[in-house]
Amino acid sequence: MYQPSHFTAVVLFALFASTVFGITMRETPRKMFRYGLYCFALFIGSTILLSWVMFLIAR
Amino acid sequence: MATATNKNAPTAIGQQEGFVYLPLIAGWLVPGAGHFLLGKWGRGALLALSVVCMYALGLSMHGKLYTGAQDILDILGLAGDLGNGLLYFIGRILGLGAYMVQVTTQDYGTKFIVVAGLLNVIAAVDAHNLRTGRKS
């Protein structure tokens, strides 16, 4: 059984979801790549931000 | 006076010929197949890789494959799983996936499988849009 850490799971999830979003939401390869990268950064960035918020709330 | 042309509109009558829902159905049944039918090999390969990897990772985490619809959350999970097309039915036939979720990783896996299905539906609809000329 594969048991990734929470962060690894988020990175894998973000990678695959961003790939599909990039390809399906934009028309040219350059725009697809940029939008995919944007989605990936938002996934990871929001995860880190919300993790800190929850950490501070829990203290 | 020059007339504005819509680049996204179907440019040829031939684009509307045949069964326009074929890429949609093929894309749902086999991830990326809708794009392959339209000759979009690179896009199709990336979409197939993403959906299949996500589904396989979900199963390797011992995620649950929804089998029935006892309550509303199960119905939603089943709908997401069905988006995987043949992958879901193969998984069911082979008895893959956990019956019960007991550890956190299994919950991640269950969500990976559901989201893989939803992403596959998005990809299939994209193939349909390419077929109808709504997208280039």
Q: Model confidence over B97-123: pLDDT tens digits?
A: 877 777 888 999 999 999 999 999 999
State ipTM: 0.91
Residues A10/A43, Cβ–Cβ less than 8 Å: yes
DSSP of B85-100, one letter per residue?
Answer: THHHHHHHHTT-SBSS
Q: Which of residues 32-51 of A touch B (CB under 8 A)?
A: none
- pTM for the model stands at 0.88
B63: Cα separation from own chain's centroid: 18
Segment B3-52, tens digit of pLDDT? 444 444 444 445 567 889 999 999 999 999 999 999 999 999 999 999 99
Q: Which of A12, A15, A20 sits opposite B47 (nearest CB)?
A: A20
Distance CA A49, CA A33 (A): 24
Within 8 A of B123 by CB-CB distance, chain A residues are 20, 23-24
The encoded tokens of residue A1 equal 């059984």
> To probe the interface with B, which of A2, A21, A33 has the most B CB atoms within 10 Å?
A2
Alpha-carbon separation of residue A47 from A11, A40, A44, B27 (angstroms): 10, 11, 5, 31
Torsion, CA B47, CA B24, CA B28, CA B7, rounded to 10 = 20
